[in-house]
Structure 1
Amino acid sequence: MKDFLKYLLATVIGLCIVGAIFTIIGIASIAGMVASSGTETTVKDNSVFVINLSGNVAERSQSNPMNQLLGDKFTTYGLNDILNSIRKAKEHEKIKGICLNAEAFVCPSASLQEIRNALLDFKESGKFVVAYGGNYSQSTYYLASVADKVAVNPQGSLAWHGLAAQSMFLKDLLDKVGVEMQIFRVGTYKSAVEPYTSTEMSPANREQTQAFVNSIWGQMVKNVSESRGIPADTLNALADRNMDFQPAEAYIQTGLADTLLYKDGMLAYLKQLTGTDEDDNLNTLYVEDMVNVQRNIPKDKSGNILAVYYAAGEIGDGALASDEGINSEQMINDLRRLREDENVKAVVLRVNSPGGSAYGSEQIWREVTLLKEKKPVIVSMGDYAASGGYYISCAADWIVAQPTTLTGSIGIFGVIPNAQKLLNDKLGIHFDVVKSNRLADLGDISRPFTEEEKNLVQGMVNKGYELFTKRCADGRKMPVEDIKKIAEGRVWTGEMAKDLKLVDELGGIDRAIAIAAERAEITEYTVMDYPKQEEFFLSLLNSTTDHYLSAGLKEQLGEWYEPFRIVKNLKNADHIQARMPFILTIN
């Protein structure tokens, strides 16, 4: 018995010691991560800024402490960090050029265009831009085409095949499980409900999708043609050949690329460009390094703030909002604080949203209207500013969009499931109800709607559409009749929307900031981003297993993450929606 107690005590003491050691190591690791994240990067002479075109791109970077603590490499770059890093590299005298390293890269078309324009601006400094890749995707080649020299691995490939937009349809699956989606909508082109009701695109949806695919592809061809000196007709002919499966030599022959090099050859070429001796190491910087490079500009002492507010993701209503998107309650509180802050002289509303809750969109619209009464509000549209995303944008003083932004989609729909067949026939579950009034159980998913109930819901959807089009008409200073002609739920690119007067100007976020400063009549100011991002420790405390798993799924699934996210959030979705088509993949 004494030996047992002795061994038990030794085990307990040992576990306590090991626990204490791990606790100390954990605290030291966290302290190290915090310290390293805020340490200023030292830039060495003759450095090259290497942009790894890999992972995913979001509007803003947000570090995930769970990933860092567990050692996982889920790579999601913030568009803001990429653009700021390119700008810093242009200004820094010790950085001689940029090398684009093409890998697997998930980045929507408008963000690609924003990065590409930043690279073109960088080239005006006279510094070099070169690109290298073993397997260029079409997206990475679109960026790489700005380079002074495009190099491909001799056994590599370069994707150039055109664009395709794909929608997923669930009707047959729902029929098999016994679920009928009861649909209420306004707008011939409001195709977000089609996945529930059809197995293919409607003629109207096919028409609008073909139009914006052609518009985006036209922009890509035009830009590549200008950079590579290849006629647009020739580029389309090459796409028809599907260059993905052509031998590497064909890329040189057609002018898509300039040279074939292995990695060691590319390294030698970069050393030559920077004047680095063959036996010395090449000095390189990456986006994560550039974030902590200080800009050599005078500090603003005016006290003027030009606020950039990021509204990214699906629009949710208050407590029901997804933590991956826009919480309407939080956003209106944030905008109210910006309205009341006398130091904030103008606001750039950066919208990257396919829409969402119609109710939440109306609340945000109201706060944008109040904000505009006090100070200039300029909208900068990202990849999407459609449906509810356009709703919250239309009241601004001025709207700037990229040519490939997807916007418009001015329409409303409602979806309420009828699971009677699933419950009764498949699962053998039956319900009975006692009610005080005739329509007390309206919306019960265990039975179909009556005609009276259908008319009530459709009436609410119609009312929402009338309000939406009025908001757009008032904001754009156009007759409601003119708005309705281009509404009907139709999606437009920024290029098309400008011709329709849904947007005012084509450009990126830098242009929107410049306009905001002009409207506020300020020449000295500090640009500040909102909402404020969480500090490391607070982010760690708020991290959950769900957040960690979502980050992992997004990294692994890439463009196919969206269907899973939408299904996950269905339980909290508002029944009346103003949003883009259900699932849309462009590649």
Structure 2
Amino acid sequence: MKSFFKSVFATVVGIIISSILLFIVLFIIIGAIAASSDKPVEVEENSILYISFDQPITDRAPASPFDFSRFSKDNRVGLNDILANIEKAKDDDNIKGIYIESTVFMGGMATAEEVRNALIDFKESGKFIVSYCNNIYTQSAYYVTSVSDKVFLNPVGLVLINGLRLQTTHIKNTLKKLDVEPTVIKIGEYKGYGELFEYDKMSQPNREQLERIANTVWANIAQGISDARGISVDSLNYIVNNLELKDPAQALKYKMVDSLIYKGDVINYLKDITGTDYKKDLNAIKLSKYIKVPKSKSYKGLAKDKIAVLYATGGIVDGEGEEGNIGGERYAREIRKARRDSSIKAIVLRINSGGGSAMASEDILVELLETKGVKPIVVSMGDVAGSGGYYIACLADTILAGKNTITGSIGVIATLFNTEGFFDKLGISFDVAKSHEYADLLSGVKPLRAKEKEFIKHYVGLTYDQFITHVSNGRNMTKEEVNEIGRGHVYGGADAMDINLIDSHGGLNDAIEIARNMAGLDEKYRVVELPKQPDPIEQLIKELSGDAKVRAMLEPLGIDSETYLEIKNTLTTQGVVARMPYMIEMN
């Protein structure tokens, strides 16, 4: 009995101590959030805007500076913040120029293109941009910063430019070892998503289309570097093909950089061009702080008219979804609310998605169709907007994409698994009593029969026909013309305009400007971002769920949150999907 009371007492003490510790953690988190609130920041005269791209770049900045799943600072930075603040700095008399210090660019190639274009626009003000790399200039970082007036490199650094690769993942042999039999039913020989399960390498049609994308995106990157650095594209390709940039001296020889100097020399150069005394510190303000500087307006008060930017990022899933994916019901509701809100004069749909559930894509598209004609709809494509991502874009009034965007993939696929062999290895068997012959069609523990495959194929065909019908209506093409460029074919943004998948090349800011003009708005308007992000406390409660624990366990294995969500969406999405080749990586 004595030991029993000791156990009870120890448990009670443990609960009290845990509660106190949790309270302290919550107090620290709330304090950190309060400290990072949007208090106005003033910029000193003769300042430099300091930018680094060494943090993950997402389309939209997180609502909280704290990552509750890791109980650490959230280092992600929003493309929306980067673009808005480069534009703000252009007209800020206190900002004399931009200093970029980065070795990597932690965003996709289309994101890199948008940032690069924003920097080019900034230079029109006559202000300077200086870039420095203290280590290894990776390909995407160099592409972005090559527009700088001066590109400096550490004397023991390196410029690593070796061309683009598109890498796909395949788990055919994993399924074979587990004795799981996949059945893939698709429309279109280019629909590469099922190759994840069917093959241990790319099919020839898929290889051809991905090589085409790699070459067209590289052509845009090479032309950009050529224009900025005064190096011919042929010379640049020679340098890349022969790995000529093997040391810093070669980078200087081929005019990839302007000087090989140390950081202290860069600081002195910045002091020279800003007229700062060598004995004084530079007036520099980080982007994370400059975000809090109010933007000057040409009008007084709060603008009533709004343009809604709806961020659609991640896989398209049935139901509500969660942060990091596109729930069909949630996004349909957001569009419906925006349509009914009289203060919202136009909608910009920002898409960064390789697709997902065909049913959820249809739910979203139906609401967009209801909205079309009521108020302008402009689509802005990010790094990827294909398959289901293109499905929800195709009926917009105007579609914009970057030249480095991956889009298209007009096709449909259904993937089913027979796990009978897997469970047999575990000593588990299944039996069934049924009322009708095909009642066990989707049981997942038996091979599909010919009639069942034909049944599913017919439905996949209907979904594909619905897909190309939407594209036909939205893009003013015949269904035959859509099918010709469809069949799961993936395209780079440079090719997409030639075949009428998009209307123009441009980024998020361009889309907002087009929406403003279509809505007939003057300069007095404001941008509202949707869906509304959860407040920090609500986010904390969510992150204390099982998902956060799973992510925390997987991260030491090199599986990040985005990869986890991709895997989860793949395993949980039911029925027919409109999805691009699984987890394409472009580096």
TM bin, normalised by shorter chain, reads over 0.9
SS of equivalent residue, structure 1 residue 458 = helix
What is the CA-CA distance between 1:568 and the residue it aligns to? 2.9
Match of 1:101 in 2: 101
Match of 2:537 in 1: 537
TM-aligned CA distance change 1:560 to 1:552, over 3 Å: closer
CA distance in 2, matches of 1:113, 1:135: 20
Match of 1:482 in 2: 481
CA distance in 2, matches of 1:300, 1:404: 39
User: What does 1:124-163 correspond to in 2, within 5 Å?
Assistant: 124-133=124-133, 134-163=135-164
Comparing 113-122 with 573-582, greater Cα deviation is found at: 573-582
TM-aligned CA distance change 1:300 to 1:309, over 3 Å: farther
TM normalised by structure 1 equals: 0.92
User: What does 1:338-377 correspond to in 2, within 5 Å?
Assistant: 338-377=338-377
User: What does 1:130-529 correspond to in 2, within 5 Å?
Assistant: 130-133=130-133, 134-243=135-244, 246-297=246-297, 298-299=299-300, 303-319=304-320, 321-424=321-424, 426-523=425-522, 524-529=524-529
SS of equivalent residue, structure 1 residue 49 = strand
8 Å CA contact 1:394–1:476 kept in 2: the answer is: yes
Q: Which amino acid aligns with 1:118?
A: A
TM-aligned CA distance change 1:563 to 1:242, over 3 Å: farther
CA distance in 1, matches of 2:409, 2:200: 21
Q: Deviations over 1:218-241 (max 9, x none)?
A: 000011111111100001011112
More helix by share: 1
CA distance in 2, matches of 1:168, 1:139: 22
8 Å CA contact 2:102–2:141 kept in 1: the answer is: yes
CA distance in 1, matches of 2:276, 2:175: 63
Q: Which amino acid aligns with 1:275?
A: G
8 Å CA contact 1:106–1:558 kept in 2: the answer is: no
What is the CA-CA distance between 1:198 and the residue it aligns to? 1.1
Match of 2:565 in 1: 565
SS of equivalent residue, structure 1 residue 349 = strand
What is the CA-CA distance between 1:373 and the residue it aligns to? 2.6
CA distance in 2, matches of 1:582, 1:251: 36
Comparing 15-24 with 219-228, greater Cα deviation is found at: 15-24
What is the CA-CA distance between 1:312 and the residue it aligns to? 1.2
TM-aligned CA distance change 1:64 to 1:281, over 3 Å: same
TM-aligned CA distance change 1:43 to 1:198, over 3 Å: same
Q: Which amino acid aligns with 2:420?
A: Q
Q: Deviations over 1:110-144 (max 9, x none)?
A: 11000000000111111110111121110100011
What is the CA-CA distance between 1:188 and the residue it aligns to? 1.0
Comparing 532-541 with 468-477, greater Cα deviation is found at: 532-541
TM-aligned CA distance change 1:175 to 1:480, over 3 Å: same
TM-aligned CA distance change 1:155 to 1:416, over 3 Å: same
SS of equivalent residue, structure 1 residue 415 = strand
SS of equivalent residue, structure 1 residue 346 = strand
Count of residue correspondences: 577
Comparing 298-307 with 261-270, greater Cα deviation is found at: 298-307
CA distance in 2, matches of 1:20, 1:152: 50
8 Å CA contact 2:387–2:580 kept in 1: the answer is: yes
CA distance in 2, matches of 1:119, 1:66: 29
Comparing 230-239 with 569-578, greater Cα deviation is found at: 569-578
Q: Name stretches of at least 5 consecutive residues in structure 1 with no aligned partner.
A: none
TM normalised by structure 2 equals: 0.92
8 Å CA contact 1:187–1:411 kept in 2: the answer is: yes
What is the CA-CA distance between 1:20 and the residue it aligns to? 6.4
SS of equivalent residue, structure 1 residue 461 = helix
TM-aligned CA distance change 1:29 to 1:172, over 3 Å: closer
Q: Deviations over 1:278-330 (max 9, x none)?
A: 222222222211221111113466521111111111101114x3542101101
CA distance in 1, matches of 2:332, 2:256: 48
TM-aligned CA distance change 1:324 to 1:20, over 3 Å: closer
What is the CA-CA distance between 1:572 and the residue it aligns to? 1.7
SS of equivalent residue, structure 2 residue 194 = helix
What is the CA-CA distance between 1:55 and the residue it aligns to? 2.3
TM-aligned CA distance change 1:294 to 1:191, over 3 Å: same
SS of equivalent residue, structure 2 residue 382 = strand
What is the CA-CA distance between 1:444 and the residue it aligns to? 1.3
SS of equivalent residue, structure 2 residue 393 = coil
SS of equivalent residue, structure 1 residue 98 = strand
What is the CA-CA distance between 1:39 and the residue it aligns to? 1.3
CA distance in 2, matches of 1:173, 1:543: 31
TM-aligned CA distance change 1:349 to 1:519, over 3 Å: same
8 Å CA contact 1:66–1:540 kept in 2: the answer is: no
TM-aligned CA distance change 1:107 to 1:65, over 3 Å: closer
TM-aligned CA distance change 1:69 to 1:13, over 3 Å: same
8 Å CA contact 1:307–1:530 kept in 2: the answer is: yes
Comparing 269-278 with 477-486, greater Cα deviation is found at: 269-278
Q: Which amino acid aligns with 2:442?
A: G
Match of 1:118 in 2: 118
CA distance in 2, matches of 1:534, 1:444: 37
8 Å CA contact 1:372–1:396 kept in 2: the answer is: yes
SS of equivalent residue, structure 2 residue 497 = helix
Q: Deviations over 1:371-405 (max 9, x none)?
A: 11311111111111100011000111111111111
What is the CA-CA distance between 1:457 and the residue it aligns to? 0.7
Comparing 510-519 with 19-28, greater Cα deviation is found at: 19-28
8 Å CA contact 1:54–1:106 kept in 2: the answer is: yes
Q: Name stretches of at least 5 consecutive residues in structure 2 with no aligned partner.
A: none
